Structure 1
Amino acid sequence: MAIGIDIGGTNLRAARISATGEILKRISEKSAPDPELVLGRIADMVHQLDTPEVAAIGIGVPGRVDARRGTVLSGGYVDLASVALAQRLESMTGKPVTIDNDCNMALTAEVARGAAAGHDSIVMFTIGTGIGGAVAEGRRIVRGKATAGQLGHIAVDLNGETCKCGRRGCVETTSSGTALGRHIARAGLGPEITIDQLFARDAAGDGTARGILNAWARPLRAAIDTAVAMFNPDLVLLGGGLGGAAHRALANAPALAPWYQAPVRPALLGDDAGVIGAGLQALAAETRAPHASPLPQPPALPGRVRPAVPARRAVLVNGIPASGKSTISRGISERMGWPLLALDTIKNPFLELLGGADREFNRTLGRASYAAIWSLVGEAPAGSIFVVDAWFGFQPRQVLEDHLKRAGVVETAEIWCHAPGEILAERYRTRLDQRLPGHPGAAYIPELSELAKRAEPLRRGPLFDVDTTQPIAFDTITAWLRTTLAS
C-alpha cells in the first residue's frame, strides 16, 4: 500500500491507498501559502497514516512539476518551487516519494477506477481555483520534456486578462473558479451567489445568470476544442471542484466544428481522485520509472462488477413538425446500423385502427407512444444505441429525464433539425393529404409558424445543429456521432 497526498489551495488531503486504489483511511488539513508550513503539515499527516505495510508516498502538486527529477519547477496557488519537497519528505519518513502535477495524479485515478476506465486516450481539465490539465495516451501520462499538459494555459483571448504565467487570455483567466467570481462581480451580483443559484436563475429565464454562465463556459469550450484538435482523444474529462458544474454549463456552449469533437464527461472520483492517483503512482514507481509506466489497469473493485459493455445510449433527433427529422433519423439509422424508433411510426398504426381521433386523443396517443419508445429502449441489451425521432418539446423536460433514467440511457447526443417558419408551413401544407385523420390539419399551420420562432433544442448533451433547408451532410453527421457516442 501507499500514502497519497493531494495539495490544494484550500485543503491538504492524504489517504492510505491499497494496491487497487481503495482508500483505507483518510485525513485532511487546511492548506497555507507558506511552503514550509505546508511541508510540516504533510509530514504530520504521513506520520498519522504510516504503517509498516506502506511502501511509498505519492504527492500531487499544483503547478509545473518535473516528475522524472522529482522537482517542482513553478507553483500554483501553493508555490512549492523553493522546497525540495520529495527529498525532504524522504528524509523525514524514510519512504520513497514520488511527486507529479496534481492533475496527472487525478487522471491516473480516473483511468484506474473512474470515468476514464477502459479508455486509452484521455484529456482532462480540472476546474477549481485555477485550471489544471493532464493528457494520457495509451494509458500513459504524456509529459513531453517535463511539464506537458498545462491545459489551463491554452490561450482563448489574446487581448484578455494577464495570467500568472505571464501571457494574456489563458483559459484559467476566464473559466476557473476564480474567474467565475470575477464574472459574477462584473454582472453586479454579490459574492454570496453560488453556482447552483446561477443555474436555477438561468432555468427561470434570468438573462444575467445566462450571461455569466456563457462568459464562463464558452472560453472553456474553445480550450476543449483546441485540446481535441491537438490530441484527438477518446474522451475529455472535467474534474476538480467545479468540474461537474462546468460540464453542465457547457450544454449552452456546444462544439461548433464537427472536426473538433469528443465525448465530454464529468470525472467520477471527486476530491478522492488526487490522493488515489498519488498512491497508485507511488506504487508504480516502486517497480519502474514514473515517466515510462502505464497507468494502472482498472482493478476488480470490492462490491462492484464492471459491465462488459456500456449502458444504453440514444441519438435524439429533435425538431418541431416538418423540420426534416424523419429524413435525418432514417439517414443516420441506415448509415450507422442503429435501430430507429420514431414517435409517428408507433402512433400511426393506432390512429389507423382506431380512426376518428381528435387532436386531444392524438396528443394522448403521442404521450403513450413516447412512453412505449423508452420501454423498448429499456428492454434492449446494454450497449445498444438507438436513434429516436420526436419533437421532444411537446412534453415537460422532466418527462424525458424520467424516461431516460428508467430505460438505463446514460448518454445522449442531440441532432437539432430546424428551418424558417415559412418553409415549415409550406412543407406541412404539401403533406396534409398524407397525414392520417387525428393529426392536426391546415388550421395548425399558423401555430406551427409561431412555434418555429420559439422552439429550441434540449441542450442536455452534445448537440449537432442541422439547417434542413441546406443539403444534408450525412458524412459529417455520422462522423460526429462516431466520435460522440460510438467510441
Structure 2
Amino acid sequence: MQPMAVSVDIGGTNLRAARVGSDGAILARARASSSSDPQDVLERLMSLIAEVDHPDVAAIGIGVPGRVDFAAQTMVSGGYVDLSKVPLASTLATRFARSVTIDNDATMALLGEVACGAARGVKNVVMLTIGTGIGGAILDKGAVLRGRMSAGQLGHIVVDPNGLQCLCGRRGCVETMSSGTALRRHIKEAGWPDDTTARILLDKSVAGDVQARAVLEAWAGPLRQALDSLVAAFDPELIVLGGGLGREAAEALKLIPVSTGWYRCDVAGAELGDDAGVIGAGLAALDALRPGKRLVMVNGVPASGKSTVAKRLSAETGWPLFALDTVKNPFLAEIGTVDRPFNRVLGRASYKAIFALIEEAPANGTFIVDAWFGFQPKDMLEVLIAESGIAEVIEIWCHADPDAVAARYRRRAKRRLPGHPGAEYADELRELATRAEPMRIGPVLDVDTEWPLDMARVHAFVSGAAG
C-alpha cells in the first residue's frame, strides 16, 4: 500500500482535512467551520484528523495561516486565526503518535499545485491564496523561498499607504483591498445584496453591467498592483491564484490591464481549488519522513535515452538535475581536444563533483543524477552516496536495443565536443549495451526508450518507491 498522510488546511472560514496518498490523491475528506478561538480550532482540528485517520497513515501535515518558523516547526504570528500561542505540532504529535509537519497554508497550497496542479513542472512560481485573507508563497528554482524564516507574506504588500488598517499593523496591505473579506466590503459599499458573489459580479460584468464591473475593478485593481511588484521582484514564470476566490480573481484581473510590458507574467487560477492546501500538506508531511537526501539515478549507457527521461522528470517535479556531461563539458570546451584516458579522468572528477554538490545541499532534498553509472565501480558509488548524506536511492534504468543505441550515438557524435569519443565508438557502445545492467542499489524502474515515454508511470514510481 502506498504511504498516506492526514492533512489539514486551516482557513479563516473553513477547516479542511483529508487523507492523502503519496501521489497526491485524496482518499478521504472532512470539513468543519473555523473559529477565531485558537483552543476551539485545536479541538476541531483533532476531531477532523480522527475522522479521516487510518492505521496506515504515516504522518500529519498542517497548513496554518500566518508566519511559520519552518526549521523550528513553530508559528511566529497569525492572522484571522492566530495559533502562534498554541504548541500545535507537539500537541498533535502527542495526541496521534505521528510525525507532524506544519507550514504556512499558502506554501502548502503551492506545493500541491506544483506537484499535481497548475504549476506542475514550473520551477519559478509565485502563488497567492485569496480567501478570508491573502496568503503567499514563492518557489525559486524549484525550492520554497523562506528567507531568514518566513518569506512569502505577500498579502502584506502595501498598495495604498493611506489605506485601511491591516491586522499586521500597517495600512493599505493588498489583503485589506483584494481578499474575500474586502470583496464583501466592496459589495456592501456598492449597495449590492449580501448574497452577491464574485461569480455573480463576473457574469453581470460580461453582460455589460457597469456597476458590477466597478466592484470587480475596486477588488482586483490593488491585486494587479501587488502582482506587478511581485513580477518586478521575483520574475516568475507563472503566478497562481488559489484559495476560495483564486479562479474568480484571475478572471477579474483580465479587467485590469498591466501597467507596463515590464511586468507581464502568465496568471492562472489554481487547478486544485480548495484541495491544493490539503494535498500539499499531505505530500509535505510524507516528504518530511525521509531521514535525509534522496537520489534518483537516471542510469543507462551513452545514447540510451536517459537524458530525455531525466530532463522531463526534473521539469515536472522541480527537483535539481545534475548531468555528468553538463559538469564535464565546460572543462572540455576550455581545455580543447583531449585523449580518451584524460576524458575518463574528467568524467571521474565530474562524477565526484556532482556528489560533492549534493553533500553541500540542504537535507531532505531530492536530486536527479543523469549518468552512465556503470563506468565506475559500484563500491565507489556507494561511498559517494554515503558521504553525500543520501538516505534513499531509486534508479530509473534506461535502455534500448543495442543497434538503436549505436545508431543514436553515430547521429549525435558530430555534435559532441572534441574529447568525447567519436562515431567510431558506436561499435564498442553496441557491445556495452548488450551487457550493461542497472546498479540495483535501490528500487529500479525499467524504461525501454524505444517506446513512448510514459511519465505517469515514472511519477508513480518515484512517488511510491519509498513505500
Q: TM-score range by the shorter chain?
A: 0.5 to 0.7
Equivalent pairs counted in the alignment come to 297
Report the 3-state secondary structure (helix = DSSP H, G, I; strand = E; otherwise coil) of the residue aligned with 2:101: strand
Residue of structure 2 equivalent to 1:43: 46
- Structure-2 separation of matches of 1:30 and 1:216: 25
Residue of structure 2 equivalent to 1:106: 109
> Residue 56 of structure 1 contacts residue 282 of structure 1 at CA under 8 Å; is this kept in 2?
yes
Residue of structure 1 equivalent to 2:236: 233
Report the 3-state secondary structure (helix = DSSP H, G, I; strand = E; otherwise coil) of the residue aligned with 1:271: helix
Q: Tell me the CA shift for residue 267 of structure 1.
A: 0.6
Give CA-to-partner distance per residue, 1:14-36, whole Å, 9 cap, x none: 11111111111111122222211
Moved more, 73-82 or 164-173: 73-82
Residue 73 in structure 1 maps to residue 54 in structure 2: no
- Structure-1 separation of matches of 2:202 and 2:175: 21
- Structure-2 separation of matches of 1:293 and 1:3: 22
Q: Tell me the CA shift for residue 150 of structure 1.
A: 0.6
Map of 1:420-431 to 2, 5 A cutoff?
none
Map of 1:289-438 to 2, 5 A cutoff?
none
Report the 3-state secondary structure (helix = DSSP H, G, I; strand = E; otherwise coil) of the residue aligned with 1:252: coil
Give CA-to-partner distance per residue, 1:285-315, whole Å, 9 cap, x none: 11158xx999xxxxxxxxxxx99x99xxxxx
Residue of structure 2 equivalent to 1:4: 7
Q: Tell me the CA shift for residue 188 of structure 1.
A: 2.2
Q: CA, structure 1 residues 293+26, in 2 after alignment: closer, same or farther (shift >3 Å)?
A: farther
Residue of structure 2 equivalent to 1:169: 172
Identity between Structure 1 and Structure 2 (%): 55
Amino acid at match of 2:5: A
Report the 3-state secondary structure (helix = DSSP H, G, I; strand = E; otherwise coil) of the residue aligned with 2:128: strand
Residue of structure 2 equivalent to 1:253: 256
Q: Tell me the CA shift for residue 197 of structure 1.
A: 2.1
Residue of structure 1 equivalent to 2:124: 121
- Structure-2 separation of matches of 1:202 and 1:23: 35
Amino acid at match of 2:40: L
Residue of structure 2 equivalent to 1:160: 163
Amino acid at match of 2:279: I
> Residue 111 of structure 1 contacts residue 139 of structure 1 at CA under 8 Å; is this kept in 2?
no
Report the 3-state secondary structure (helix = DSSP H, G, I; strand = E; otherwise coil) of the residue aligned with 1:17: strand
Q: Tell me the CA shift for residue 77 of structure 1.
A: 1.3
Residue of structure 1 equivalent to 2:360: none
Residue 136 in structure 1 maps to residue 139 in structure 2: yes
Give CA-to-partner distance per residue, 1:272-291, whole Å, 9 cap, x none: 111110010001111158xx
Moved more, 21-30 or 239-248: 21-30
Residue 86 in structure 1 maps to residue 89 in structure 2: yes
Amino acid at match of 1:17: V
Give CA-to-partner distance per residue, 1:178-203, whole Å, 9 cap, x none: 11111112222232222222123222
Residue of structure 1 equivalent to 2:28: 25
- Structure-1 separation of matches of 2:185 and 2:104: 26
Amino acid at match of 1:234: E
**Runs (4+) of structure 1 moved beyond 6 Å?**
none
- Structure-2 separation of matches of 1:169 and 1:112: 33
> Residue 238 of structure 2 contacts residue 268 of structure 2 at CA under 8 Å; is this kept in 1?
yes
Unaligned stretches of 5+ residues in structure 1: 295-305, 311-487
Amino acid at match of 2:54: T
> Residue 122 of structure 1 contacts residue 235 of structure 1 at CA under 8 Å; is this kept in 2?
yes
Unaligned stretches of 5+ residues in structure 2: 296-311, 317-467
- Structure-1 separation of matches of 2:215 and 2:44: 37
Report the 3-state secondary structure (helix = DSSP H, G, I; strand = E; otherwise coil) of the residue aligned with 1:155: coil
Residue 281 in structure 1 maps to residue 284 in structure 2: yes
Q: Tell me the CA shift for residue 128 of structure 1.
A: 0.8
> Residue 7 of structure 2 contacts residue 49 of structure 2 at CA under 8 Å; is this kept in 1?
no
> Residue 65 of structure 2 contacts residue 79 of structure 2 at CA under 8 Å; is this kept in 1?
yes
Residue 243 in structure 1 maps to residue 270 in structure 2: no
> Residue 140 of structure 1 contacts residue 293 of structure 1 at CA under 8 Å; is this kept in 2?
no
Q: Tell me the CA shift for residue 63 of structure 1.
A: 1.0
Residue of structure 1 equivalent to 2:152: 149
Residue of structure 1 equivalent to 2:211: 208
Which of 173, 179, 195 aligns to 2:198? It is: 195
Q: Tell me the CA shift for residue 141 of structure 1.
A: 1.0
Residue 180 in structure 1 maps to residue 183 in structure 2: yes
- Structure-1 separation of matches of 2:219 and 2:294: 36
- Structure-1 separation of matches of 2:211 and 2:291: 53
Q: Tell me the CA shift for residue 205 of structure 1.
A: 2.5
Report the 3-state secondary structure (helix = DSSP H, G, I; strand = E; otherwise coil) of the residue aligned with 1:33: coil
- Structure-2 separation of matches of 1:278 and 1:196: 28
- Structure-1 separation of matches of 2:211 and 2:278: 38
